[in-house]
Amino acid sequence: MGPIPPLRPPCGSTEYLDQQLRLVQFVYKVGVWFLAEQSVVNERGGAMLQRKADWRAEARRATVGLFITVMGIFLFLASVSQAARAQTYKVIHHFTNQGTDGANPYGGPVLDSAGNLYGTTYLGGYWGDGAVYKLSPSGSSWTYTSLYNFFPIPDGAGPGFGSLAMGPNGALYGTTESGGGGYFGTVFEICNCTAREVQIHAFGYGTDGAQPLGGVVRDAAGNLYGTTSLYGTLGNGTVFEEEWNGSTWTESTLYNFTGGDDGASPPAGVTLDAHGDLYGTTSFGGKYYDGVIYKLTRRKSGWKQSVLHAFRGRSDGQYPVGGVVVDEAGNLFGTTFDGGVKGGGTVYEYSPSAAAGSKFKTLYSFAGAYGGPYNKLTLANGKIYGFTEAGGANGWGSIWVLTPAEGGGWTFTDLHDFTSSSDGTTGGIDGAQPYGSLAVDSNGNIFGTTVIGGSTNQGVVFEITP
């Protein structure tokens, strides 16, 4: 993965130097390190394309020192939280990186009405460039089906953090952060019934942006919306639309981030509200350089961007990597990866209809540093479900829920703390380091993924039952 565009405090200032240090640290967290940890040789296809190999070699040189340092911090910093409530935790699939099985799922699963799970893996599959999978319940077990294996360019490679979007007739929509004819990622459709891929758009041929990490959302008309974390006309990422007219797709850029007060580098995808407006977050930029919550309003003359909240890096947190979700009342819920009163990130609510000065509210602050929530929250059954990428009781991540408390406020409950291997060098058999959003059914069963750990340290899909 390439670098995130830098922010723009006055060059040479203390603020500028501090921001550059934080930028370097955060680039590691956005995913450069996992490229560096992978081989540049495809086991079945010989040497990878030279350009892809060069990317990964560059990432290795740039991040290996930071990886060691930050991982050391992760091992010794754990979030202070309530003891885990009695739950039943079960791994329902161990990824193996063998055959058509995937590896390292950064995106979380999605549920269909029959209780099947669908998701992606960043690596693995037959060609090593990622896979789309299905898990079907079968009594007390689950059946794994490989729906699609990404192959070398011009196909996409490396589905990132975004969960799949579901359409009619079992169609699945998503993004890859690299590959495609333009080398900078794709938007794709998978037909669940035939495992046939349609490449809707390939980034990198102009000013359309690059590296769409956060997946897409689909509106009632079948149009798709998403973000690119890099490039565009101004170099700081974009919001895009893939318009469907019933037979063909047309790509257009709805907004180019300037890197100023409007934000910069949105790794998270957008969220649609009931009026067709779009909401999202940027990791950087904004008035205080710590990211923003933004809104794109549909108008006859085009789309208008407005900043709802600029993060200060104080009690409100900083680096809102994961985007936002919207409840039925139009309130936004999201997280920050860092900051807050305890230093380990926050959960927040933004209420557009609230009085000025009380629209933004911090609901919970995590302890630690650089290991907080990393993706979109899940609103289900009146509760807020989420995870931390690191932290937790063992430093390898956790699953948690916020439940409305009597008299107002929220009660935080730690549901599961991931473990390490016996030598403490990687994830345990239960998995470690969740990055993808959770899926929750009507019975309160929770489904998710971890990037590493499991029987072969290639990640897992898990279920938590109440």
pLDDT of 137 over the 50 cut: yes
Q: Shortest CA distance to 240 belongs to which of 270, 273, 277, 263?
A: 270
Peptide bond into 154 cis (omega under 30): yes
DSSP string, 295-361: EEEEETTEEEEEEEEE--SSTT-B--TT-EEE-TTS-EEEEESBBSTTEEEEEEEE-TTSPTT-SEE
Please state, in angstroms and as integers, the Cα–Cα distance from residue 113 to each residue in 23, 136, 168, 260, 425, following that order.
41, 12, 12, 43, 39
pLDDT of 81 over the 70 cut: no
77 phi, psi to nearest 5 deg: -110, 120
Confidence at residue 169, expressed as pLDDT on a 0 to 100 scale: 85
Which phi-psi region, left, alpha or beta, contains residue 76 (left: φ > 0; alpha: ψ -120 to 50)? alpha
Q: Shortest CA distance to 335 belongs to which of 389, 404, 275, 411?
A: 389
Where do the H-state alpha helices sit in 82-227?
A: none
Greater confidence (38 vs 384) lies with: 384
Confidence at residue 194, expressed as pLDDT on a 0 to 100 scale: 63
Confidence at residue 192, expressed as pLDDT on a 0 to 100 scale: 66
In the chain, % helix, strand, coil (3-state, to 5) comes to 10, 40, 45
d(CA 57, CA 159): 20
DSSP string, 18-31: HHHHHHHHHHIIII
Residue 195 confidence class, pLDDT cut points 50, 70, 90: low
For range 382-398, the mean pLDDT: 96
d(CA 370, CA 325): 22
Q: Shortest CA distance to 209 belongs to which of 242, 142, 256, 258?
A: 256
Confidence at residue 64, expressed as pLDDT on a 0 to 100 scale: 32
Annotated domain spans of the chain: 1-76
Q: What is the DSSP letter of 169?
A: G
Question: What letters, b where the CB count within 10 A reaches 16 and e where it falls short, cover 84-119?
Answer: beebebebbbbbbbeebbbbbbbbbbbbeeeebbbb
91 phi, psi to nearest 5 deg: -80, 120
d(CA 176, CA 332): 26
For range 434-445, the mean pLDDT: 97
pLDDT of 2 over the 90 cut: no
d(CA 201, CA 166): 18
Residue 202 one-letter amino acid: A
What confidence tens digit (pLDDT) does each residue in 275-297 have?
Answer: 999 999 999 999 999 999 999 99
The helix/strand/coil state of 61 is helix
Structure tokens at 32: 């450069």
What confidence tens digit (pLDDT) does each residue in 210-265 have?
Answer: 999 999 999 999 999 999 999 999 999 999 999 999 999 999 999 999 999 999 99
Greater confidence (319 vs 16) lies with: 319
pLDDT of 128 over the 70 cut: yes
Contact (Cβ atoms closer than 8 angstroms) between residue 164 and residue 172: yes
Confidence at residue 182, expressed as pLDDT on a 0 to 100 scale: 86
d(CA 213, CA 228): 7
Residue 357, C-beta contacts closer than 8 angstroms, at least 6 positions apart: none
What confidence tens digit (pLDDT) does each residue in 349-387 have?
Answer: 999 999 999 999 999 999 987 789 999 999 999 999 999
Return the biggest CA–CA distance within the chain.
63
Greater confidence (399 vs 10) lies with: 399
Confidence at residue 376, expressed as pLDDT on a 0 to 100 scale: 98
Cα–chain center distance at 256: 20
Cα–chain center distance at 2: 16
d(CA 351, CA 355): 9
d(CA 168, CA 170): 5
pLDDT of 12 over the 60 cut: no
Confidence at residue 368, expressed as pLDDT on a 0 to 100 scale: 85
pLDDT of 156 over the 70 cut: yes
114 membership: H or E segment, kind and range = none
pLDDT of 1 over the 90 cut: no
Beta bridge partners of 190: 172, 197
d(CA 345, CA 350): 16
What confidence tens digit (pLDDT) does each residue in 211-224 have?
Answer: 999 999 999 999 99
Residue 60 confidence class, pLDDT cut points 50, 70, 90: very low
DSSP string, 228-249: ESBBSTTSB-EEEEEEE-SS-E
pLDDT of 26 over the 50 cut: no
Mean pLDDT of the chain: 85
d(CA 446, CA 427): 20
pLDDT of 22 over the 80 cut: no
